[in-house]
Amino acid sequence: HPLYKWFTPEIADRSARILKRPAALKIEGLHKSFDHKGTPVKVLNEIDFTAYKREFICVVGPSGCGKSTLARLIAGLETHEQGAIVIDDNTVTGPGPDRGMVFQSYSLFPWLTIKQNVMFGLTQAGMAYNTAEAEAFQWIDLVGLTKFADAYPHQLSGGMKQRVAIIRALANQPKILLMDEPFAALDPQNRLKMQQYLLEIWQNIDITIFFITHDLDEAIYLADRILVLEANPGQVVEALEVPLPRPRKADTLLSPEFLATKAYLEKLV
């Protein structure tokens, strides 16, 4: 493998430990077509992939290769013709509380305060108001937004809104967090801050992350493994173990193994 010299014993050991964990998400022989003027057009072709518990997966690939469609299928927001998506031994047939989703556009409820946004899913799921409020405060505190608990989304910066979207998704304790280009609208400085926030949260809770991005730097910085898709039809060309130690710091982005990984991926996408 062109990156072999970066697969140090430490990296190989990390990969081996991840592969011994139970599967969190299994995608088996998945096919998806959309109808285009009466003709079915194949968007995803024979996708096979397994993510293990607490693994951080990034998905990259050219625009239109089906990344968002794949996330929506996992979320249960679309149906597929063939194959299966299995989460913790349950086959996905629709949306469910085992999956949380974060979009680029935040999708917060503008008429609710930050606290109410975070509480929403909890009270919907039947949690008592006071308990939900206490939980919401803990999450809000975790991302440093206590002062903004009673503010409305429009009063927050993009990065702050995305922090709220993330904790709102996590508050329901999903097994998998699906993120579709969540930081694409942020400026580089805020983006790096959000990436570091996300890594911190991920290190502290039991969650598997499926993170879509078109930014290779972001994928390499965050992921244990990077799933590379090609377009027309969308299919897997590589599932690359990222040969970078953790924890990742800002200077990770300048390391020789980082640059080697990026050069390798640039040839694939």
User: What are the residues binding ligand ADP (CB under 6 A)?
Assistant: 34, 43, 61, 63-69
Residue 43 or 165 having the CB closest to ligand ADP: 43
Residue 122 or 178 having the CB closest to ligand ADP: 178
Q: Residue 69 interacts with Mg ion (CB under 5 A)? A: no
DSSP-derived letter for residue 134 is H
Q: Residue 68 interacts with Mg ion (CB under 5 A)? A: yes
Please give the backbone phi and psi of residue 144, each rounded to the nearest 5 degrees, phi first: 70, 30
Residue 118 or 240 having the CB closest to ligand ADP: 240
**Distance, CA of 144 to CA of 164 (rounded, Å):** 10
Instruction: Please state the closest distance from residue 44 (CB atom) to Mg ion, in A.
Output: 13
**35 beta partners:** 40
Tokens representing residue 42 in the block: 């194949």
Instruction: Please state the closest distance from residue 167 (CB atom) to Mg ion, in A.
Output: 23
Instruction: Please state the closest distance from residue 34 (CB atom) to ligand ADP, in A.
Output: 3
Instruction: Please state the closest distance from residue 68 (CB atom) to Mg ion, in A.
Output: 3
Distances (CA, A) of 162 to 28, 80, 157, 167, 208: 31, 29, 9, 9, 18
Using an 8 Å Cβ cutoff, are 116 and 149 in contact? no
Using an 8 Å Cβ cutoff, are 74 and 99 in contact? yes
Using an 8 Å Cβ cutoff, are 51 and 25 in contact? yes
Using an 8 Å Cβ cutoff, are 254 and 260 in contact? no
With a CB cutoff of 8 Å and minimum separation 6, the contacts of 145 are 114, 156, 160, 163, 164
Residue 181 or 241 having the CB closest to Mg ion: 181
Query: Residue 227, SS3?
Result: strand
Report which secondary-structure segment, H or E, holds 164: helix 158-171
Query: Which listed range, 31-39, 41-49, 66-74, 152-160, lies at the site for Mg ion (CB under 5 A)?
Result: 66-74
Instruction: Please state the closest distance from residue 181 (CB atom) to Mg ion, in A.
Output: 6
Choose among ligand ADP, Mg ion, none what residue 189 binds, the Cβ cut-off being 5 to 8 Å by kind.
none
Choose among Mg ion, ligand ADP, none what residue 65 binds, the Cβ cut-off being 5 to 8 Å by kind.
ligand ADP
Choose among ligand ADP, Mg ion, none what residue 63 binds, the Cβ cut-off being 5 to 8 Å by kind.
ligand ADP
Instruction: Please state the closest distance from residue 68 (CB atom) to ligand ADP, in A.
Output: 3
Instruction: Please state the closest distance from residue 43 (CB atom) to ligand ADP, in A.
Output: 4
Choose among ligand ADP, Mg ion, none what residue 208 binds, the Cβ cut-off being 5 to 8 Å by kind.
none
Residue 79 or 138 having the CB closest to ligand ADP: 79
Distance between alpha carbon 19 and the CA centroid of its chain, in Å?
A: 19
Choose among Mg ion, ligand ADP, none what residue 100 binds, the Cβ cut-off being 5 to 8 Å by kind.
none
Using an 8 Å Cβ cutoff, are 233 and 260 in contact? no
Query: Which listed range, 17-25, 68-76, 116-124, 150-158, lies at the site for Mg ion (CB under 5 A)?
Result: 68-76
* Interface ranges with Mg ion (CB under 5 A): 67-68
